[in-house]
Structure 1
Amino acid sequence: MAIYKAPLRDMRFVLNEVFEADKLWASMEATQEVTPDLADAILEEGAKLTENELFPLNRSGDEEGCRFENGQVFTPAGFKEAYNALAEGGWMGLGGNPEYGGQGMPKMLTVLFEEMLYAANASFTLYPALNSGAALLLDSHASDAIKEKYLPTLYEGRWIGTMCLTEPHSGTDLGLIRTKAEPNANGTYTITGNKIWITGGEHDLAENIIHLVLAKLPDAPAGTRGISLFLVPKIKINEDNSLGEFNNVNCGSIEHKMGIKGSATCVINFDGSEGIMIGEPNKGLAAMFTMMNYERLSIGIQGLGLGEVAYQSAMDFAKERLQSRAPTGAKCPDKPADPILVHPDVRRMALNARVFNEGSRAFASYVGMQLDISKYHADETTRKHAADLVALLTPVAKAFITDRGFDATVEAQQVYGGSGYCREWGAEQYVRDARIAQIYEGTNGIQAMDLMGRKVFANNGEFLNIFIKDVREFLATASGQNGMQPWVAALETELKRLESVTAAVMTAAKENPEEIGAAAVDYLNLFGLVAYAYMWARMVSVAQQKVDADSSGFYANKILAGNHYLKRVLPRTLSLEQQILAGAEVLMAMEEEAFYGN
């Protein structure tokens, strides 16, 4: 049986002790009312909601899946009631703009609640996660009239948002989209086209679905420079905000997927639907990136949540599973065998999952902190510094967290042995549900190319230097701290490795543009390992200062887990360095035809 308890102790540690969120919030006018007590109350109530309302529906929702009948989608039993509980509790607008009815909570706090949501029920969580991204986009790019009309109801959860990008012939290359937007005399547009893989494109949870759709005007320039953005409700909305007539938004089918079966993944046909332009003509993709970047961090958190619940469930199994004796002799001589955690290889799997989960939690919170600073800080230079870090770290947050989250679900499944392959234990569902996070919202290979190409090479390492400076400022304060010398030495070595590898790729890419793609995935993994080493160093630094006065074992165990990361995980950078330096030639040397035959 799978189990889940929100890791509140570790969440509080990251939020309050590692990043001292209360001091940051107190320094910014928009977040001054967010006190530690308020944040703690939100985490406590979030834990109750996710553990009691969402987690019990996780396996049943996977078994039942969504149902498509006569153009309508029906979500699994219990989903609508759980959605109502989320909406009635105000959770749909937790991070929303208070001017339009949102609660205005900082991102550092909402990322932790998102982790609980994804851990408890990843399929269900995709519905409110898309809504939050849609509301953020409208708050950033829509007119005041549109905000006043749509945001309060999206925050209430009576309406719910989606994003519609992909078409059958146009995935990563959005410049190829064919969906058309014809202008009407009344200022609206007639939208015609087909979108696929639309998460929550049709369902029975909310009374209306608000689609944010990329389309092209008749005179649009070719490629991505000719994309505009439109708001297209499933049901038209009257002047008084009551629901009007059907807007010719039709669900053609739903996908039959490997995982996230309680999430409706739809083919959506816009058959002459009425839409409203958001932002300026031909600049829709830039506006849509506001939502896409939000969703990329959110999907990273999906990987974290699934890794966490998989780990917790595997450790619950490991307590009871007796197999063989410990290498050093019986640990439980009164039993026929010892619990499997006496075996070093089981410890290896458990610790790998644990250190990546805890590193991911800290990293997601760190990115959330930069988002808060970039949005709310009074100093313009500080805001830009944080925004540049967000641009650099977003592809890492999406790709590295989801890769390591998937690894954690596989490690956890392996702890079960054969039981992990059987449905009733729940482990195999977490593997299936985590796999998609590496694919959608821009595949992890695309994220890696974004990091290497746009965020490092294109600006000559400017964003990277901001991150490295941040790490070195921490090292300067930690160098004299007792117990931190191994971390300081290792991190300085890894920063130098990252700098030298970056310089080598940038030099090579000036001669051969294929070097960017050849290095990208290995480079992102190298960067991620170094970034997590920074997160672990910050966590261990706090733990070292508090361990002697702690009787619970929390800080001592944090130091021990950090030591596993330092000694057995971080050395992976050595092989990644060699893989990157091997260059593009070894990948491109074989003729294309050779891949299709013997």
Structure 2
Amino acid sequence: MPYRAPISEYRFLFDHVVGFDAVTATDRFSEATPDMVDAILTEAGKMCEEVLAPLQRAGDQHPARLENGVVRTSPGFAEGHKAIAEGGWVAIAADPEHGGMGLPMTVTTAVNEMMSAACLAIQLNPLMTQGQIEALEHHASDEIKATYLPKLISGEWCGTMNLTEPQAGSDVGALRTKAEPNGDGSYSISGQKIYISWGDNDFTENVCHLVLARLPDGVDGTKGISLFMVPKYLPNDDGTPGKANDLRVVSLEHKMGLHGSPTAVMEYDGATGWLVGGEHDGMKCMFTMMNNARLGVGGQGIGVAEAAYQHALDYAMDRKQGRTPVEGGNTIVDHADVRRMLATMKADVFAARAIALSCAVAIDMAHATGDADWSARAALLTPIAKAFGTDTGIAVSDTGVQVHGGMGFIEETGAAQYCRDVRVTAIYEGTNGIQSMDLVARKMMDGGDAAFALLDEIEAFAEAAKSDLPDLAEPVWQAAETLRETVEWLVAQQDMTTRFAGAVPFLRGFARVLGGYFHLRAAVAEPGGARARLARFYILRLLAEHKSLFAQARAGSDDLYALSTDDLAA
């Protein structure tokens, strides 16, 4: 499938929408000059177009498979991973002390999105490694850092995260995997983990598993969980892979999509592991990796949305069908409903991308300045970026099938693969319902201060824009004010079930307002151009959804629980 990396879109967002100039103005990221960033994005885009995109169909048609205990990956995936590793794309944001580039997370987010658009199945491998790198940088001992980080950063080794068990999905605290001290500083890890993305492969020297397990004195629930590094091969003293550890891939899941990405059931039978972080601090350590992955997964959704949009647009520009109202128009792109679908796809991709990059900017500013307000902004935006990014990937890929008409339902066109591949992104790294619950609960423990600070910025910008673009600025200001009132109502609710009942529409409404704000910024930066016309479409059509979404958010839970289980089964 052809894919065109949207380099100019990233440049525009960096320069005019998400405030990337504040990141490069800090001492920590001063070397990320516009020329350097432009060169990085261009080279990454070229690699995605020429090396990764041709693997998209191969991964789907020739899935990873388990043969005699050995995982065999899809044709071309070894070469694809080699290109990612040798290009340094695994560790753009990693610490230079261990071989990383030390560049902003904002740049990593853009590169990850391009890789996801080109071939999501293979991009999931370096995404897991990136999260593991960050977890080790923050929590591992110096010895573990020295052994594992250089190899992970170079791409010679790759990383996974092992949380889920058959009886412990979102309720991680129910896990049964055990860790017994060996008396030499190592531990014996025993248990089974499921849904392990890229649990094994045939192209890296080692696979490094971060495994959640419970020590003998670990209490029940999440407070008794610890985190361990459990490699496929035990490292020798010189850092090379040594003897095989006592772990194995039991099976690979048969999945709806992402066939090129092996999702493993892992068995640990007295495997040797080493503690990462403190005893019983496993969830704290793993959340570092999970928060990194949540932004990355949001980017995966956006990347697939971009690819599905490009695929649908190419088809619509070529497919001839019926009369159109456009003089000289003879393809379906000129039919009103097809034009509506394509405009919705493009407008939502822009909104979701801007939200994700804005979240990345907040992460970079928090790292560069240590400012708690930036940390709060990053925390607030992370669940929105993850949920709205993946919801957008699902919606846009679904609409892409519709644009293709009957041909969209035929596998040979490739339109359906985007739907099948992206669907899981709304489930893993915490379902989008969990992201929404996190937003209305933990992220509102400050009484809404972080949300109000963001709304202050939105309303101030919209107020200033009223002089030039009153028909666009006024709806954005009004939507922000409605969101403010909804946040005020939300933080006043002490009953969490009342908050949770409307959490999903609240998050989506929040994302709609953010999308309107970012589209308005684009229109101000490029008045009268294509971006302003797209902003008009979004603000006058899609932003209007916020009213019904916030009405749902404030509906409470009584009507949900007035329905009995018998009513649901009737």
8 Å contact from structure 2 (residues 462, 474) kept in 1 = no
Further displaced range: 557-566 or 88-97: 88-97
| Conserved 8 A contact 1:130-1:163 | yes
> Match for residue 42 of structure 1?
40
Aligned to 1:371: 363
- Tell me by how many angstroms 1:304 deviates: 0.4
The question of 1:536 aligning with 2:519 is answered yes
Moved more, 82-91 or 441-450: 82-91
Which of 445, 452, 455 is equivalent to 1:465? 452
- Distance in structure 1 (CA, Å) of the matches to 2:19 and 2:543: 26
Q: 1: distance between equivalents of 2:239 and 2:555?
A: 60
| 1:348 counterpart = 2:331 | no
* Superposition deviation, residue 24 in structure 1: 2.4
Secondary structure of the 2:390 match is helix
Deviations 1:199-238 (A, max 9, x none): 0111112110010011111011221111111111010011
Cross-structure match for 2:479: 494
SS in 1 for 2:31: coil
Counterpart code for 1:585: D
Q: Distance in 2 between matches of 1:433 and 1:86?
A: 20
Please state how far the C-alpha of 1:290 moved relative to its aligned partner.
Answer: 0.6
* Corresponding residue number in structure 2 for 1:200: 198
In structure 2, the partner of 1:474 is 461
- 2:190 and 2:286 mapped to 1: Cα distance? 19
Q: CA deviation at 1:321?
A: 0.7
Paired residue secondary structure (1:6): coil
Provide the rounded CA distance (Å) in 2 between the counterparts of 1:155 and 1:62.
Answer: 27
**Alignment-mate amino acid for residue 348 of structure 2:** F
Whether the 8 Å CA contact 1:505–1:519 is kept in 2: the answer is: no
Q: 1:445 aligns with which of 433, 443, 462?
A: 433
1:569 counterpart = 2:555: no
Please point out which of 525, 537, 556 is paired with 2:508. Answer: 525
Native 8 Å contact 1:325 1:331 kept in 2: no
Equivalent pair of 1:310/1:412 in contact (CA under 8 Å): yes
State which of 320, 327, 331 in structure 1 corresponds to 2:328.
Answer: 331
Q: Distance in 2 between matches of 1:473 and 1:232?
A: 51
- How far apart in 2 are the matches of 1:152 and 1:374? 25
Normalising by structure 2, we get a TM-score of 0.98
Counterparts of 2:225 and 2:434 in 1: how far apart (Å)? 20
Distance 1:20 1:196 in 2: 40
The 3 A distance-change label for structure 1 pair 185 and 282 is same
Query: By how many angstroms is 1:249 displaced?
Result: 1.4
Aligned 1:229-268 pairs, distance under 5 A? 229-268=227-266
Structure 1, unmatched stretches of 5+, are: 333-337, 548-555
1:397 aligns with 2:385: yes
Secondary structure of the residue aligned to 2:53 is: helix
Whole-angstrom CA distance in 2 between matches of 1:560 and 1:473: 22
Cα distance in 1 for partners of 2:156, 2:148 equals 10
Alignment partners' CA distance in 1, 2:16 and 2:514: 19
Count of residue pairs brought into register by the alignment: 570
Q: Distance in 2 between matches of 1:105 and 1:436?
A: 29
Q: Within 2, Cα distance between the matches of 1:314 and 1:502?
A: 37
Inter-partner Cα distance in structure 2 for 1:221 and 1:535: 46
Q: Distance in 2 between matches of 1:106 and 1:470?
A: 23
Q: Distance in 2 between matches of 1:576 and 1:376?
A: 36
Superposed displacement of residue 513, structure 1: 3.2
Task: Give me the TM-score of the superposition, normalised by structure 1.
Answer: 0.93
How far apart, CA to CA, are the structure 1 residues paired with 2:466 and 2:224? 52
Letter of the structure 1 residue corresponding to residue 317 of structure 2: K
Contact map agreement 2:476 2:539 (CA 8 A) in 1: no
Distance (Å, rounded) in 2 between the aligned partners of 1:232 and 1:218: 18
For residue 578 of structure 1, report the CA deviation from its aligned partner. Answer: 2.4
Aligned to 1:552: none
Shift of 1:79: 0.3
Relative distance call for 1:463 and 1:217 in structure 2 (3 A) is: same
CA distance, structure 2, for counterparts of residue 326 and residue 92 of structure 1: 47
Amino acid at match of 1:88: E
Mapped contact 2:195–2:263 kept (Cα < 8 A) = yes
Structure 1 equivalent of residue 3 of structure 2? 4
Query: Which deviates more, 441-450 or 512-521?
Result: 512-521
Give the distance between the partners of 2:324 and 2:463, measured in 1 at CA: 43
Identity of aligned residues (%): 39
Partner SS for 1:282? coil
Contact map agreement 1:108 1:368 (CA 8 A) in 2: yes
1:159-308 map, 5 Å: 159-308=157-306
* Distance in 2, Cα, partners of 1:26 & 1:435: 35
Please say if residues 169 and 176 of structure 1, whose CA atoms lie closer than 8 Å, have aligned partners that are also in contact.
yes
Mapped to 2, the partners of 1:287 and 1:487 lie a distance apart of: 44
How far is 1:536 from its partner?
Answer: 1.0
Partner of 1:506: 491
Deviations 1:228-256 (CA, angstroms, capped at 9, x unpaired): 11111010011111221111111000001
* Contact in 2 for aligned 1:323/1:340 (Cα 8 Å): yes
Stretch moving more, 120-129 or 8-17: 8-17
What SS does the aligned partner of 2:388 have?
helix
2:321–2:331 CA contact under 8 A, matched in 1: yes
What secondary structure does 2:269 align onto? strand
Contact 1:3 1:316 in 2 (8 A): no
Deviation of 1:474 (Å): 2.7
Note the C-alpha offset of 1:20.
5.0
Partner of 1:585: 558
Q: Any conservation in 2 of the 1:227–1:284 contact (CA below 8 Å)?
A: yes
- Equivalent AA in structure 2 for residue 291 of structure 1: M
Task: Give the superposition deviation at 1:402.
Answer: 0.7
1:388 matched residue in structure 2: 376
Please tell me whether the aligned partners of residues 499 and 556 of structure 2 are also in contact (alpha carbons under 8 angstroms): no
Task: Confirm whether residue 93 of structure 1 aligns to residue 91 of structure 2.
Answer: yes
Match of 2:106 in 1: 108
1:206 and 1:180 map into 2 onto residues whose CA distance is 27
Provide the C-alpha distance between the structure 1 equivalents of 2:18 and 2:546, rounded to a whole number of angstroms. Answer: 26
- For residues 573 and 149 of structure 1, what CA distance do their matches in structure 2 show? 50
The residue identity in structure 1 corresponding to 2:447 is N
The amino acid that maps onto 1:331 is G
1:538 deviates by: 1.4
Contact 1:117 1:125 in 2 (8 A): yes
Report the CA distance between 1:331 and its aligned residue.
Answer: 2.5
- 1-side partners of 2:464 and 2:364: how far apart? 24
Cα distance, 1:39–1:299 mapped onto 2, change above 3 Å? same
Report the counterpart of residue 415 of structure 1 in structure 2: 403
Name the structure 1 match of 2:117: 119
